Amino acid sequence: MNNTKWWQTAVIYQIYPRSFQDSDGDGIGDLRGIINRLDYLEQLGITAIWLSPVYKSPNDDNGYDISNYQEIMSEFGTMEDMDELIERAKLRNIRIIMDLVVNHTSDEHPWFIEARKGKDNPYRNYYIWRDPVNGGVPNSLRSTFSGSAWEFDEASGQYYLHLFSRRQPDLNWENSKVRQEVWDMMNFWLDKGVGGFRMDVIDLVGKIPDQEITGNGPKLHEYLQDMNRETFGKHDVLTVGETWGATPEVAKLYSDPDRNELSMVFQFEHIGLDQQDGGEKWDLKPLDVSELKQVLAKWQTELGNAGWNSLFWNNHDLPRIVSRWGDDKQYRVQSSKMFAILLHLMKGTPYIYQGEEIGMTNYPIQEISEAQDIETINMYQERIAEGYAKEDIIHSINVKGRDNARTPVQWDHSPNGGFTTGEPWLHVNPNYKEINMEANLKDPDSVFHCYRKLIELRKNNPIVVWGDFELLTRVPDQVFMYFRRYEGETWLVTANFSREATTLELPETGQAGEFIIGNYTRDDVDFKQLQLQPYEAFAVKLA
């Protein structure tokens, strides 16, 4: 393939540093902890680490509220540690992808501290200020973390915009000085040799607050083209935009190579399938597997050559997929592997979220006092005030809350799962004695070894990276089957998305050849009478 980019053949591993590995006993993960685990990541076979924010932050939103983009959060370590991480990872051919959070800063960022000093301050226009309307908020924009997106500033009698917490004021991207500050900061990191950027809610930076336009504003793509030209365009890096609500058409605007914007985006269409229409993420509905198949197949085929998919089930904002759409009890191992096989043999760049590769699960809470996440806590208070029943809110939190994925990584069966010798900042899931990295490494049939093998398959088989995708439609709803085809070779991937066994008759599919990977041992694959076990998944080359 001409023009092949390293990130097209890559597998990315997301680290949420606060929860990954503590090295100094303060109960908070840190950079040294990551450095100490590079051997493990090398063994897994990943190409790059997406590092959730490690910058200086008062942690109103665990680092997504940055008070200095060029300093490291003291709990995580120092800039020397960061340089060492970049360097030591590079020795293992692992690149570090930074989280770029530039829709907003912390309210403790010096720019905001200045801006707040008054209407004439030179930094005032770095943020978005509006006069009251009829003695109240300028308009009805809402914060993702509950309540109005406008916060009143007593001193100046104006409101400032915050699409997330009130401690995350939105930057004013219409101000060219703000954009220049961002480019300079990105170049600072590029000069350190980072492997790229994951761009937090980048679809919001072209907002027009007065028209209540937040996502996909008219200048968004102009800004990204400027960014590309002024910063990473000269470097061989991966850039991935977080774009809630993107359609394939929109995704192509970002990732068509001819447009010189980003490598790819995270789209969330599949992620929203268990949410009620018109509701919020907390308003649940059961997943319809046939919808999931349609959505994923659409993304597989529609980007064509004018874009590139990112593939993921999990991140630090989402519940664990095995608990969400699989079975985290009886069939935990099987269903964890099913999700892995299904996703990693699709076209695109797979992302693994820490702990996914060892089959970690959600951790239900009983009381809101156990929650740490600002989104969860704010929603709880808002819904209590609106009269929702406490049990219903707690149920939604246990299904969808962000703390589920943020519990510390379970390394071994020692106290706190080997995450820390101190008091962990967030409860460790008590199932760590059974589910941990060490146990996974020892067991050749573990979830870990399935992920390791999938990564290896991608490295050694161009069909996984480049093959065409075709969904099999004439199968029962709960069975997800697709073909990959490349240079005369065909693979068939099968997943039984159900706790029930089932039998299929698919004589037209042809003859199975080499068995590639699966989550059950099986003697053969007979398409005339294909018996699938609960959550069974496998890939086979067709003869």
Active site residues: 200, 242
Does 458 help bind ligand TEU (rule: CB under 6 A)?
Answer: no
With contact defined as beta carbons under 8 Å apart, do 494 and 538 qualify? yes
Give me 422's structure tokens. Answer: 């101190």
Q: How far is residue 276's CA from residue 51's CA, in Å, rounded to a whole number? A: 32
222 conformational bin, left if phi > 0, alpha if psi -120 to 50, beta if neither:
alpha
* Residue (171 or 539) nearer to ligand TEU, CB: 171
Q: Which of 244, 388, 483, 486 binds ligand TEU (CB under 6 A)?
A: 244
Number of Cβ within 10 Å of residue 141's Cβ equals: 18
CB of 168 to ligand TEU, least distance (A): 6
CB of 47 to ligand TEU, least distance (A): 21
Q: Which of 167, 402, 452, 484 binds ligand TEU (CB under 6 A)?
A: 402
Number of Cβ within 10 Å of residue 84's Cβ equals: 15
Q: How many H helices and E strands in the chain?
A: 16, 20
Cα 34–145–22 angle (5° rounding)?
15
- Collapsed DSSP state (helix, strand, coil) of residue 230: helix
Q: How far is residue 540's CA from residue 543's CA, in Å, rounded to a whole number? A: 9
CB of 186 to ligand TEU, least distance (A): 17
Does 201 help bind ligand TEU (rule: CB under 6 A)?
Answer: yes
Tell how far CA 404 is from the center of its chain: 14
Does 200 help bind ligand TEU (rule: CB under 6 A)?
Answer: yes
Q: Which helix (H) or strand (E) holds 55?
A: strand 55-56
* Residue (144 or 372) nearer to ligand TEU, CB: 144
Does 198 help bind ligand TEU (rule: CB under 6 A)?
Answer: no
CB of 312 to ligand TEU, least distance (A): 12
CB of 249 to ligand TEU, least distance (A): 21
* Residue (51 or 475) nearer to ligand TEU, CB: 51
With contact defined as beta carbons under 8 Å apart, do 142 and 148 qualify? yes
Does 466 help bind ligand TEU (rule: CB under 6 A)?
Answer: no
Does 18 help bind ligand TEU (rule: CB under 6 A)?
Answer: no
Number of Cβ within 10 Å of residue 136's Cβ equals: 11
Nearest CA-CA partner of 133 in 217, 208, 210: 210
* Residue (103 or 335) nearer to ligand TEU, CB: 103
CB of 246 to ligand TEU, least distance (A): 13
Does 144 help bind ligand TEU (rule: CB under 6 A)?
Answer: yes
Does 375 help bind ligand TEU (rule: CB under 6 A)?
Answer: yes
CB of 402 to ligand TEU, least distance (A): 6
Q: Under rule CB under 6 A, which residues in 149-178 are in contact with ligand TEU?
A: 164
Q: How far is residue 95's CA from residue 197's CA, in Å, rounded to a whole number? A: 11
348 conformational bin, left if phi > 0, alpha if psi -120 to 50, beta if neither:
left
Length of the chain counted residue by residue: 543
β-strands 55-56, 238-242: how paired? unpaired
Q: Which of 61, 327, 328, 403 binds ligand TEU (CB under 6 A)?
A: 61
Q: Which of 7, 16, 55, 64 binds ligand TEU (CB under 6 A)?
A: 64
* Residue (200 or 226) nearer to ligand TEU, CB: 200
* Residue (37 or 281) nearer to ligand TEU, CB: 281
Q: How far is residue 465's CA from residue 454's CA, in Å, rounded to a whole number? A: 12
Among all residues, whose Cβ is closest to ligand TEU? 64
Q: How far is residue 45's CA from residue 456's CA, in Å, rounded to a whole number? A: 7
Q: Which of 95, 166, 281, 320 binds ligand TEU (CB under 6 A)?
A: 281
Q: Which residues contact 479 (CB under 8 A, 6 or more apart)?
A: 494, 495, 496, 497, 498, 502, 504, 532
Does 69 help bind ligand TEU (rule: CB under 6 A)?
Answer: no
Q: Which of 10, 41, 100, 101 binds ligand TEU (CB under 6 A)?
A: 101
The amino acid present at 540, given as its one-letter code, is V
* Residue (373 or 536) nearer to ligand TEU, CB: 373
Q: Under rule CB under 6 A, which residues in 304-323 are in contact with ligand TEU?
A: 316-317
CB of 113 to ligand TEU, least distance (A): 19
Nearest CA-CA partner of 143 in 123, 170, 117: 170
* Residue (146 or 416) nearer to ligand TEU, CB: 146
* Residue (82 or 163) nearer to ligand TEU, CB: 163
With contact defined as beta carbons under 8 Å apart, do 512 and 524 qualify? yes
CB of 401 to ligand TEU, least distance (A): 8
Number of residues that bind ligand TEU (CB under 6 A): 14
Does 475 help bind ligand TEU (rule: CB under 6 A)?
Answer: no
Does 203 help bind ligand TEU (rule: CB under 6 A)?
Answer: no
Does 214 help bind ligand TEU (rule: CB under 6 A)?
Answer: no
Name the percent of the chain in helix, strand, coil, to the closest 5: 35, 20, 45
- Residues at the interface with ligand TEU (CB under 6 A): 61, 64, 101, 144, 164, 200-201, 242, 244, 281, 316-317, 375, 402
